[in-house]
Structure formats: C-alpha cells, structure tokens
Amino acid sequence: MKTLTRLMMFASLALVGCGGTAASTARMGATQAAIRSAGEVGAEREPTAALHLQYAREQFTQAEQLSRSGEGERAERVLARAEADAELALALSRRSASISAAGQAASEVREARSRPTPTSTPTPPAAPPTAPQPTP
C-alpha cells in the first residue's frame, strides 16, 4: 500500500511540475478563438483594430515558441496579452461598425426630413342632391 501511495504522490508531483512547462491548451484555444473572431468581424478594415489584431497574432506566435521551449509561465502571460489585444481589436471593430451604422441612420433621417411632404388637400364635400324640378 505504501508503494502505491508513493507512486501516486510521485505521479501527482510530476503532473504539477509539468503544468508550468507548457502553456495550457485551454488558453491557447481561447486566444486563437479571440483572434479568429476579430478577423471575422473585419478588424483589418479599421486601422487601430488592425494594429491590435497584428499584435495579438505576433504574441500568439511568440507564446507558441515559448511553450515549445518549456517556458510555460511566460507563454501564459504572453497569451493573456494576445487574447486581450484580440478582444480589443474585436471591440474596436464593432465600435467602428456601430458608429458607421449610426451615421448612415442619421443621414437617412436628415434626407427624409428634407424631402417635401405631399400635402393632402381635403376634397370639398359633395353638393347635396338636387330635387328634381317639375316640368311646366
């Protein structure tokens, strides 16, 4: 029983020790998803969003290299920055789209207000029917 306990403790310590050597798969996946989302909403079309998306991509690549070289803790920090930059790119892109849509709506309202509205003239009431005149 002592041998089994020692073996389990050793295995647990080995797993905990390995936890710091590579970046977590969950963090890698979340960061990739954030980068993909920012790209899909068109972050490249808005200059500031495009810059942050580029930062995120570069940091993701750097984190992969750090993870492969056994620097898991640094990789995690770089991944956190990459994910934050990707989320910022996404937010900036959505903000830009919202501002554009609001401007378009305001333009349509101004155009609608400047158009002359057709005035409807009420039709005069019909004349009462005349009684037939007797013929002399």
Q: Is residue 72 part of a domain?
A: yes
What is the reported pTM?
Answer: 0.64
- Residue 104, pLDDT score: 87
CA distance 83 to 88: 9
Residue 51 or residue 130, greater confidence: 51
Q: Is residue 84 part of a domain?
A: yes
Q: Is residue 35 part of a domain?
A: yes
Q: Is residue 74 part of a domain?
A: yes
Q: Is residue 42 part of a domain?
A: yes
Range of the domain at 44: 20-112
Q: Is the distance from CB of 56 to CB of 9 less than 8 angstroms?
A: no
Q: Is residue 31 part of a domain?
A: yes
Residues 55-92 as b/e (b if ≥16 CB within 10 A, e otherwise) read: bbbebbebbbebbeeebbeebbebbebbbbbbbbbbeb
Q: Is residue 73 part of a domain?
A: yes
Cβ neighbours for 42, distance < 8 A, ≥ 6 positions apart: 93, 97
> Residue 120: which pLDDT band, with cuts at 50, 70 and 90?
low
Question: DSSP assignment, residue 132?
Answer: P
Residue 20 or residue 133, greater confidence: 133
Token pair belonging to 81: 């920055």
Rounded average pLDDT over 93-103: 87
Q: Is residue 124 part of a domain?
A: no
- For the chain, what is the domain count? 1
